[in-house]
């Protein structure tokens, strides 16, 4: 179970990084 949670955490971190870099590349800053 801990391994599944760890994978979910890693995937979420990767998604956040992708969204962050995409927002910078497109010149758009998303307001959370």
Q: How far apart are CA 7 and CA 12, in angstroms?
A: 9
**pLDDT of the residue at 13:** 98
Angle at 10 between CA 21 and CA 20, to 5 degrees: 15
pLDDT attached to residue 22 = 86
| pTM of the model as a whole | 0.60
Report the Cα 20 to chain-centroid distance in Å: 7
- What's the pLDDT at 3? 96
Tell me the pLDDT of the chain (32 aa) as tens digits. 899 999 999 999 999 999 888 888 887 765 55
- The structural domains of the chain, with segments of one domain joined by +, span 1-31
pLDDT of residue 17: 95
> Residue 26: its pLDDT value, please?
81
């Amino acid at each position: 179970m801990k391994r599944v949670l760890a994978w979910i955490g890693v995937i979420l971190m990767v998604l956040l990084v992708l969204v962050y870099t995409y927002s910078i590349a497109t010149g758009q800053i998303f307001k959370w």
